[in-house]
Every structure is written in structure tokens, then in C-alpha cells.
Amino acid sequence: MNTVLLIDDEKTNHFIIEKFFQKKPDFRLEHAYSGEEGIALLLSGLKPDLILLDAMMEGIDGFETASKIRHNEESFTPIIMLTALADSVSRIKAVEVKINDFITKPIDFFALDLSIKNLIELKKLFKEIHSYQKFYQKLVNSLSDIVIVFDNKKEILFMNSIAKQFMDKMKIEHHLFFKAFPEKYPDAMKIVEHYEESKFLKDSLIEDYLRIENMYFQVLIMPFSTENQYVLILKDMSFLYQKTLKLESDLEKNRKDITKALYIQKNLMSKPLPLTGKMIVRSLYVPSFSIGGDFHIILREGHILAGFIADVSGHGIEAALYGTMLFMAVERHRSVIFESAGEFLNLIDQELSKVNMDSNFITAFAFRFDLKTKELFYANAGHNVPYYSLQGKKVKYPLPLEKSGPPLGIGINPNLSYLEHSINLNHQAFRLIFYTDGLIEDFMNQEAVETYEYLDKILYADNWYQELENYKNFLLQREDHADIDDTTLMMLEIRNPVRISAKFYQLKNADVIWEKVQAVLDRFDYHQKEKERIFVLIQELVSNAVKYASGGELTVKINGGWVMIRVKDEGSGFDVLSKLKNEKCMETQIEDFFLEKALDYHQTQSCGLGLLMAYKLSYKFLYNQKGNTFLSVIKKDKRMSDYCSKYENSGAGN
């Protein structure tokens, strides 16, 4: 007859468990309605074969009850915890108090029955172990490990033949092991330290590792069957240690090889295009923990912008090699993409299908965009459908695709045909995003569901360049996650310029204007050095207009490729063209005109900007950037008091 003690403060649970055991004539159920009552029953002499323990009870809970039971028990009694708690923290806590099984409510009685049977058998096994101690002592003598039994005075009571051979080899007298061994090998002192620790940890196992010369041991110390006796086991792990060192060396070499491969793969990716004007193009690639198979390229020929994005199936060296073959095929046929995105995919498909490695395939998307007509031509080979949004609207639209197109990617069947589609985006400011699976796979979710959270954040953000950077940092923080995929993004945007206009009468007004200008420059991703130059120019323009003409009006127009600054002051200005007789020599005449007027400058005859500043900043700085934009504006407005300079941004749009 097996005795089971149920400790639970809910009478309903006692009734349910009672019904369960009524069908088991070999079991007798004892009841306790609190942790305190259960402990009292055990201390009074009740010796159950198994304890069923509720986790959440008034007074002391199940975890504290289990801890006290383990502290007081003389022999092992299995404990099953019954609880509605299923979180990992509760499970860890249960392990810490030596609970043997964890059954969640509502109770699965099949699982409970199986657990009871297993733990009853475990209880019997523990009893048998105690009865066979002497037999094990004889058996230990035949083991290949060093086994030493000693008492609390460090006197050796038993050692097997391997231990004797080891001491003879180390030239240590057997009875002086705990004194001579640490003296000869200081690292062995941890054996003595663990012995001292084990005296206070009843029925506990102490485990550590010890290196002596070219040998490596696993050290195990535990209380023996008899009180005040302990067993020391030294398992020779030298062979495994050497194998581990070699494995670590090989892994480090592989890690370096993978790092180099990732570096090469990243350098195969498209380099930024020096675009200007309303067009902005950005791309982002973040590698995975292992080598991924993403690839993209952005090309431009005249007024045609072309792009290609692909994702090779699988990971590792195989995917990287197949991706390299894809890169070579793209390079051979890159001129075709400017004529037909569909024919470009057909050629890539036919070439890679001949060298398919173990049924690899590639999802791919190719496009060409006419910068003049704003018409987008594209073809899809099983890739994620790109989305676009119109400026000022937080709604994304998928690019329309023919439903009857090939469902799989390129590299499988050379007879597939990919058709070219088109959509006209003329007269619209828009954003268009191309991406691989890594952007929409929720790798933190075990079900690998798709999520468009990050795609929407990037597509709708005022400053989507910063969102790209944020997303990149988010991925890099998780680059050691085994399930993360490499991620590629390409963004194409046509954006209308932003115009800021304000009157000014004091120099401090320039700071207010600059705050607005800077916010827009950030949205267009201007670099810090570029912003500093633009700030100096605005500051000088406003300063001179206030100084010599009591104020004026500043207009700044900003786009992805240029900044146009216009200052009209309150002064009368000069008729510039009357000073410039020969237009063929205007460059020299402008410089001479600046020098002349900079030396003879009058408050009542405003030059609009302050000619000294114009000579130092506008001519030398702006002219050296992008040709005679300064001259063209002078020819248009004819008076220096109505001046406009066009600063060609060399960074935005890349």
C-alpha cells in the first residue's frame, strides 16, 4: 500500500483528488489543509511515499512548504506540485526547492497518473541504492575514475586501484593525500575547500574542474552513505579537454572565415548613387548570425533608375556561393534591366537554372523607373510584394501584380516567363519600399508569424532615414539570435520641396528661422557638415541685411538634392548688370565688383547681402561647389538686393 499526502487549502481540490484515488486500491490518501498542517503530520511520524502539494495557499505557500519538507526529511520523498502557475519563473523556483514534477491546473489526470507511477518507482530505487552501498564500494574499485572515500578528519577510508596508481605516479603517500597533494599542486587546494563546503551541505553534490600539468579532471565531492563520510571522484577529462581546445580553435577559425565571407558579401551590395533633386534612394543591409543570401543593387543610366532585390533560399556558405553566382549573372545582364525588368529576370533565371545547387531557388524583384515620366516598370519572381505610400497619407498600397505569374523564384525552371508590369506615379510625391523576409518575419515568435510593424514605421516616418538606422541597431543588438534572417531594404522617394519663409529685423530672428530649417534638413538627411555650412550662410545673410538695411525677408527651399536660399532686404540695392559690360568675362568682373564694393560699402546703398560676405562665402564656397548658379540668379533678378543662391547638396540623395 502506497501512502500519498495531499496538502491543499481548497476542499474542492481534496474532493477531486479523492475521487481520482478511489479508483486506485493500492493507494491511501492522507489530507492536510495547509502547509503548516502538512509539515506537522510529517514531523509527527507520517512517512508518505509521495506528496501532492498546491503552490498557492494561505499562510506558507507550496514553495516554502517544500523547502521545509526537504530540510527535515530523513529519506527521499517525491513531491509533485499542482498549480495554475505555468511561467518559467515559477518552474525555476520549484526546481530550487527540489520539487520533482510540476502539474498545471486544470489537472491532466493522465499526466498525473504517469508522474505518480514514475516517482513511486524512483522512491523504490532510492531504497535499493541504500541497501547496495557495500556492493557499490566493490564496484567502484573497477572504475577508471579516481575514487576516494574519506571521513570528516580527512582520513582516507577507501581508494580504488586507479587512485593508488595516480598517487604513486605523483609520488604522494596515500595517507597524506589531503596534505601533500595541495602543497605540490596549489590548484588542488579547491578540493580541500570543496570538502569543507560539503560537510555543511547534506546530500548535496559539489562539482568543479581541476587542471594539473597536462591533465584535466572533473572533481565531484558528495556525502557518502554513512554519516561523516564523503566520496571524492576525479574523472580524467584530459582527452575531452584537448578535443574541446581543438574544437574551440576550429570554431574560432570558422568564425573568422564567416566574418570575412560576410564582409565580402556586404561589399557585393549596391553602392549609393549620387542622386540629386526630388529623388531620394536609400538601401540597408544587415547580415544574419550565419551567412545569409540577400542581394540588392541600384543602378542609373541617364534618366532611368533601375534596381534589383533578391533573397536566396537557405543560409550558410551554400547560400553565399549561390548569391555570388547571382551577382555574377546580374553583372553580365545589367544593361538589360534598363530595357525590360521582365526580360532581365528571364535571363537570370535561365542562367541560374543550369547550375542549381540542391534545389535552391531565389525570390527576386526587378524594376526600372523613368525619372522624367515617373513611370515604374517591374517584374516579380516570387518575391515579397513592394508597397508604396503617397506623401502625407499613412496608407500603404501594394504594387499591382498579375495573379497568374510564376509562383516560385528564379533558378528552378528555365522555361518560366516573367512579365513586366507598370504603374504611373506622375504628379505624385510617394515612397516605395522593397524588402526581403527579414523585415516582416517576427523571429522572436516561435510560430514565425509575419509582422508589418517595422515596415509601417519606416514607410510612414517623417524622418525615415532615422527609422532605417533605428531598425538596423535593433537587428544588430540581436545578431546572435539563432533564428534571425538577414535583412535588406531599398527605399525610393519622390518628395516635394519644403518652403520656409519669414521676415526678420534683428539678428536673433535668424535663430528662430534656423530651428525650422534644421528640422527640415534632418528630415532630408543632410549631414552635420552640410548643415553647418548652410547655417553660416543664413547667419551671414541675415546679419548683413540687418546691419546695412534694417532687416528683410528670408526664403529657404529644401529638397533632397539642393537648398535654395533667397534674401531680399529693405535696402535699395545696386544695378549689377550695368557694371558688367562683357558677359564673356563675367566671372572676373563679378570678383572685381565684389572687391570694389566691399571696400566702399554704404548703409544707405544696400547691396542686399553684404558684399564682403558674398565674396567670402557665396562666390568662393558656392561657386566652387556646382558652377555658376550665383551668376544665373544675378542675370535673372538683375539687382543684388534680390539675391538667390542655389546650394547643390553633395550628400543628400546618395
In this structure, the answer to whether residues 479 and 360 fall within a common structural domain is yes
Structural domain tally of the chain?
A: 4
In three-state secondary structure terms, 6 is strand
In this structure, the answer to whether residues 104 and 42 fall within a common structural domain is yes
- Decide which of 479, 494, 509 is a domain's last residue: 494
Burial 119-146, CB ≥16 within 10 A → b, else e = bbeebeeeeeeeeeeeeebeebeeeeeb
pLDDT of residue 303: 87
CATH number at residue 366: 3.60.40.10
- Cα distances from 146 to residues 142, 158, 231, 392, in angstroms, run 10, 11, 10, 77
Query: Other CB atoms closer than 10 Å to residue 470's CB: what's the count?
Result: 15
- Decide which of 494, 523, 554 is a domain's last residue: 494
Give the DSSP letter of residue 485: P
pLDDT of residue 478: 63
Question: Could you tell me if residue 259 is inside a domain?
Answer: no
Question: Could you tell me if residue 653 is inside a domain?
Answer: no
pLDDT of residue 242: 81
Q: Which of 654, 587, 581, 595 minimizes the C-alpha distance to 627?
A: 587
pLDDT of residue 5: 95
Structural domain range at position 311:
271-494
In this structure, the answer to whether residues 61 and 18 fall within a common structural domain is yes
- Give the residue ranges of DSSP H helices in 79-160: 88-96, 109-131, 133-140
Question: Could you tell me if residue 232 is inside a domain?
Answer: yes
In this structure, the answer to whether residues 346 and 474 fall within a common structural domain is yes
pLDDT along the chain (654 residues), means of 10: 92 92 91 94 91 91 92 87 84 88 88 91 80 65 79 83 86 84 79 70 70 81 74 84 81 72 61 57 72 80 90 74 84 93 92 74 90 90 88 84 64 84 83 84 51 82 78 69 70 81 82 85 77 78 72 78 72 49 51 52 42 42 30 30 36 25
With residue 194 as reference, give the H or E element that holds it.
Answer: helix 189-198
In this structure, the answer to whether residues 467 and 571 fall within a common structural domain is no
Report the C-alpha gap between 440 and 456 in whole angstroms: 10
In this structure, the answer to whether residues 391 and 474 fall within a common structural domain is yes
CATH number at residue 170: 3.30.450.20
Residue 442, classified by CB atoms within 10 Å of its CB into exposed (0-12), middle (13-18) or buried (19+), is: middle
In this structure, the answer to whether residues 522 and 610 fall within a common structural domain is yes
Question: Could you tell me if residue 503 is inside a domain?
Answer: yes
Question: Could you tell me if residue 411 is inside a domain?
Answer: yes
- Decide which of 104, 131, 158 is a domain's last residue: 131
pLDDT of residue 214: 77
In this structure, the answer to whether residues 511 and 553 fall within a common structural domain is yes
In this structure, the answer to whether residues 287 and 365 fall within a common structural domain is yes
In this structure, the answer to whether residues 506 and 634 fall within a common structural domain is yes
CATH number at residue 98: 3.40.50.2300
Question: Could you tell me if residue 265 is inside a domain?
Answer: no
Question: Could you tell me if residue 256 is inside a domain?
Answer: no
In this structure, the answer to whether residues 228 and 279 fall within a common structural domain is no
CATH number at residue 587: 3.30.565
Report the C-alpha gap between 204 and 584 in whole angstroms: 98
- Cα distances from 650 to residues 437, 503, 561, 625, in angstroms, run 33, 29, 7, 8
In this structure, the answer to whether residues 490 and 509 fall within a common structural domain is no
